[in-house]
C-alpha cells in the first residue's frame, strides 16, 4: 500500500515539526490498511482528530459561531460519496464513506447528514472547538441577525486555506479523500470545494488526487479532476501535479496545493508559502 497525505496549503505553520509528525503517523496508519479506501479513511481520521489541522477538531468557525465539517471520498471505480455542513461531526470522512456505501446518493448535507452519521455509528455531538479557536471566535465581534448582516461583517475576514487529504493505491486500485472544517468566518452554511467531486478530490483507474487551498477557486477550476486527467493523458504523478497547479494559477491567480498518486509513485505541488505532506509504503 502506498499512501500520501497533506495537511493543507497556506501560510507557514507556527509549529511545523509536530504537524509533520502527525502527518507521518497518518501516512503510516493508512499504509497499514488492507484496501486503498480503508487507507485514506484511517489516514484522514488521524488528521481530523488533531487540532493542529483544520478538519474535525479545531475546524474553522462560520459566521454564526458553529464549526461545520465537510468531506469527500472516491475510489478508482468512480464510486463516490460526500457529506457537508455537519455540526458536531469529527470524522466527516467516515460519513462520506457511509454516503458512498449505504445510500444511492453522492452528497448528503446538514442536519440530515448528521442524522445519517449517527445511524451508522459515526460519533456526533462532538465539541469541535479548541482553546485557540474559541479565543479567536470570542475576539471576532461577530454580528447577530440576517445573512446580509453577516455578509457585511465577513467580507474582510473570510479566509484560510487548510484542509487535509489522502490518496492511496495498492498497485491495482486507488482511493482519494479530503476533509475540512472550512474557511474562517465563512457565511453560515457555506460549502467549499472539499465535498465537490472533481474539485477537492477525484479518483479514476489512472490514479487519484486531493486538493487544498482557496476552495471557491478550486471548485471553479475543478483542480483534482484536472490533475487526474493529466494522469490519464500519460503524465506521471509529479508532472500531473505541476501541470494542474500551473493551469490553476493561470485560470484563477489564487492559492492552492494538490497531492497526486499513480501506479508508479506520488507527486505534490503548491503555490502557497507551504504545504506539508508525508508518504508511506507498506
Active-site positions read 163
Backbone conformation region of residue 121, classed left if phi is above 0, alpha if psi is from -120 to 50, else beta: left
User: What contacts 6, CB < 8 A, 6 or more positions away?
Assistant: 23, 163, 164, 165, 166, 210, 212, 257, 259, 268, 275, 276, 277
User: What contacts 83, CB < 8 A, 6 or more positions away?
Assistant: 70, 71, 72, 89, 92, 95, 96, 98, 99, 107, 108, 109, 113, 116, 117, 195
Length reported for the chain: 282
How many H-runs (helices) and E-runs (strands) does the chain carry?
Answer: 9, 11
Question: Which H helix or E strand runs over 36?
Answer: helix 36-48
User: Facing residues of 256 across strands?
Assistant: 213
The radius of gyration computed from the CA coordinates of the chain, to the nearest angstrom, equals 17
Taking CA atoms, 279 is separated from 35, 43, 132, in Å, by 16, 11, 29
Backbone conformation region of residue 207, classed left if phi is above 0, alpha if psi is from -120 to 50, else beta: left
* Of 261, 253, 246, 248, residue with least CA distance to 173: 261
Amino acid at each position: 500500500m502506498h499512501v500520501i497525505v497533506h495537511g493543507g496549503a497556506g501560510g507557514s505553520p507556527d509549529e511545523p515539526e509536530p504537524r509533520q509528525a502527525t502527518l507521518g503517523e497518518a501516512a503510516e496508519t493508512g499504509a497499514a490498511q488492507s484496501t486503498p479506501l480503508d487507507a485514506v479513511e484511517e489516514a484522514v481520521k488521524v488528521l481530523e482528530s488533531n487540532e493542529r489541522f483544520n478538519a474535525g477538531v479545531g475546524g474553522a468557525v462560520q459566521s454564526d459561531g458553529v464549526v461545520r465539517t465537510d468531506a469527500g471520498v472516491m475510489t478508482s471505480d468512480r464510486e463516490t460519496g460526500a457529506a457537508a455542513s455537519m455540526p458536531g461531526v469529527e470524522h466527516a470522512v467516515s460519513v462520506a464513506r457511509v454516503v458512498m456505501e449505504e445510500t444511492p446518493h453522492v452528497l448528503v448535507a446538514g442536519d440530515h447528514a448528521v442524522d445519517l452519521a449517527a445511524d451508522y455509528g459515526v460519533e456526533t455531538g462532538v465539541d469541535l472547538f479548541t482553546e485557540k479557536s474559541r479565543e479567536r471566535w470570542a475576539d471576532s465581534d461577530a454580528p447577530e441577525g440576517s445573512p446580509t448582516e453577516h455578509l457585511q461583517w465577513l467580507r474582510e475576514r473570510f479566509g484560510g486555506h487548510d484542509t487535509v487529504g489522502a490518496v492511496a493505491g495498492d498497485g491495482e486500485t486507488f482511493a482519494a479523500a479530503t476533509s475540512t472544517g472550512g474557511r474562517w468566518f465563512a457565511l453560515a452554511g457555506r460549502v467549499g470545494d472539499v465535498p465537490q467531486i472533481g474539485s477537492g478530490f477525484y479518483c479514476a483507474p489512472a490514479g487519484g488526487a486531493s486538493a487544498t487551498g482557496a476552495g471557491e477557486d478550486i471548485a471553479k477550476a475543478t483542480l483534482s479532476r484536472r490533475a487526474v486527467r493529466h494522469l490519464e493523458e500519460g503524465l506521471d504523478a509529479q508532472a500531473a501535479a505541476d501541470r494542474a497547479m500551473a493551469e490553476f494559477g493561470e485560470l484563477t491567480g489564487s492559492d492552492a496545493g494538490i497531492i497526486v498518486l499513480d501506479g508508479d509513485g506520488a507527486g505534490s505541488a503548491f503555490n502557497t508559502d507551504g504545504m506539508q505532506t508525508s508518504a508511506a509504503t507498506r
